[in-house]
Amino acid sequence: MRRLPLIESRSAIVEPPVARPAGFAERGIPSLTDRRGRVYRYLRLSVTDRCDLACVYCMPPGGEEDHGLRRELLTFEEAARLIAVFAAGGVERVRFTGGEPLVRKDVVELVERVHRRAPHLRLAMTSNGTRLPELAAPLRAAGLGSVNVSLDALDPDCFAALTRGGDVHRVLAGIEAALAVGMEVKLNAVPLEDGPGTAERLGALVDWAWSRAITPRFIELMPLGEGAALADRRLDAAAVRAMLGDRLSAGEPEAPGGPLGPARYVSGRGGRVGFITAISDEFCASCNRVRVTARGDVRACLADRRALSLRDVMRTGGSDADLAWAMHRALGGKSEGHAFLDPDVVEHEHVGMSLIGG
């Protein structure tokens, strides 16, 4: 078993030749870049590691054992402060995630607080949608512009089996509520053989999304946590494209990266379909995202266990400059590619997606 190295010391970081965003540069603080010249513009912040569903590829039955205690989670004040420092370092977009972000009590207040403090930031959320029927309108009013809703299957029984008890009608109502208040909505699906991953079910999902002008995106299963045991059911982008048949054009997908993130989009007869091909065609070279867990650990990559606690920096009296240096250290040593397929890195070393913040 290979142990991943500890994070490198500050002195080992070599600054790449990229312009530092104003704000950090004025104070002699490094920008959010790594040694390979990747620039970080996109923060995914987990606000909880809990969830009201337990998707088979994400959460063990009954939930994770390692839930953070309330005092271990970032407070809203800490989260808003972190986001402001990330914004000074060049982050332009923030996505609230989890676990299920909408189970965090008063999450609307957090969105509002962040929006007030940094109104130029584009705020988005990834959600399972079950609480959107009630929360879409207040979230929109608080400053949330878009939501990616996870929906793997329209069939109520298939959805309930995948999520261990979820009600697909709640999710559909949540999507309608988000559309009704003018949020941009995308749909995320993890296609798995023997379940949602049949030509009929995937086709129905895409047709339903297109009928509401929503872009569906298929995420290849990653061997994280519960997903590790399901790797033989993974359907890659090529398999999904084949199942969608003549719904999609035969052309090459657009290149990944850029402001739209890692998805590669293919056009089709009723809209577009995105593919997030972390396994079959990794996009690490164009990665522009940084993750912070609900407990305040900054993670440069989903597949990398190295983490550095920004919460501890704040709770031991660290300044914003200390926080910025910690962010810079965490990103500076980021590996060139992910370690998902490295046979020497055992799967149980990766914690589940809901704990990191997917």
Q: Which two tokens stand for residue 168?
A: 């697909």
- The helix (run of H) or strand (run of E) holding residue 148 is strand 146-150
Q: What 8-state DSSP symbol labels residue 167?
A: -
Q: Over the Cα atoms of the chain, what is R_g?
A: 20
Is 90 within 8 Å of 120 (Cβ atoms)?
no
For ligand SF4, the closer CB: 84 or 125: 125
Contacts of 279 (CB under 8 A, 6+ apart): 220, 221, 222, 234, 236, 340, 341
Nearest to 285 by CA among 334, 358, 330: 334
Contacts of 242 (CB under 8 A, 6+ apart): none
Alpha-carbon gap, residue 113 to 51, rounded angstroms: 23
Residue with tokens 């982050």: 91
* Under rule CB under 6 A, residue 150 binds ligand SF4: yes
Residue 79's CB is within 10 A of a number of other CB atoms, namely 25
Alpha-carbon gap, residue 70 to 104, rounded angstroms: 10
* Partner that binds at residue 293, options ligand SAM, ligand SF4, none, CB closer than 5 to 8 Å by kind: none
Q: Which two tokens stand for residue 282?
A: 């990794």
The footprint of ligand SF4 on this chain (CB under 6 A) covers a number of residues equal to: 13
Q: Kindly tell me which residue out of 33, 126, 130, 277 binds ligand SAM, with binding defined by CB under 6 A.
A: 126
Q: Which two tokens stand for residue 246?
A: 């003549």
Subset of residues 165 to 224 that bind ligand SAM, contact rule: CB under 6 A: 188, 190, 219, 221-222, 224
- The helix (run of H) or strand (run of E) holding residue 323 is helix 320-332
- Give least dist CB 219 to ligand SAM, A: 5
- Give least dist CB 56 to ligand SAM, A: 9
- Give least dist CB 141 to ligand SF4, A: 24
* Under rule CB under 6 A, residue 91 binds ligand SF4: no
Q: Kindly tell me which residue out of 68, 98, 195, 197 binds ligand SF4, with binding defined by CB under 6 A.
A: 98
Partner residues linked to 39 by β-bridges: 33
* Under rule CB under 6 A, residue 57 binds ligand SAM: yes
- Give least dist CB 29 to ligand SAM, A: 31
Residue 339's CB is within 10 A of a number of other CB atoms, namely 18
* Under rule CB under 6 A, residue 276 binds ligand SF4: no
Subset of residues 109 to 128 that bind ligand SF4, contact rule: CB under 6 A: 128
Q: Kindly tell me which residue out of 53, 178, 323, 345 binds ligand SF4, with binding defined by CB under 6 A.
A: 53
Q: Kindly tell me which residue out of 64, 354, 355, 356 binds ligand SF4, with binding defined by CB under 6 A.
A: 354
Q: Kindly tell me which residue out of 29, 43, 59, 79 binds ligand SF4, with binding defined by CB under 6 A.
A: 59
- Give least dist CB 275 to ligand SAM, A: 12
Q: Kindly tell me which residue out of 34, 64, 100, 155 binds ligand SF4, with binding defined by CB under 6 A.
A: 100
Q: What 8-state DSSP symbol labels residue 256?
A: S
Q: Which two tokens stand for residue 249?
A: 């054009």
- Give least dist CB 316 to ligand SAM, A: 29
- Give least dist CB 62 to ligand SAM, A: 16
* Under rule CB under 6 A, residue 155 binds ligand SAM: no
Q: Kindly tell me which residue out of 99, 174, 261, 333 binds ligand SF4, with binding defined by CB under 6 A.
A: 99
For ligand SF4, the closer CB: 7 or 54: 54
Contacts of 63 (CB under 8 A, 6+ apart): 50, 51, 54
Chain positions contacting ligand SAM, by CB under 6 A: 51, 57-58, 97-98, 100, 126-128, 150, 188, 190, 219, 221-222, 224, 227, 353-354, 358
Chain positions contacting ligand SF4, by CB under 6 A: 51, 53-55, 58-59, 98-100, 128, 150, 353-354
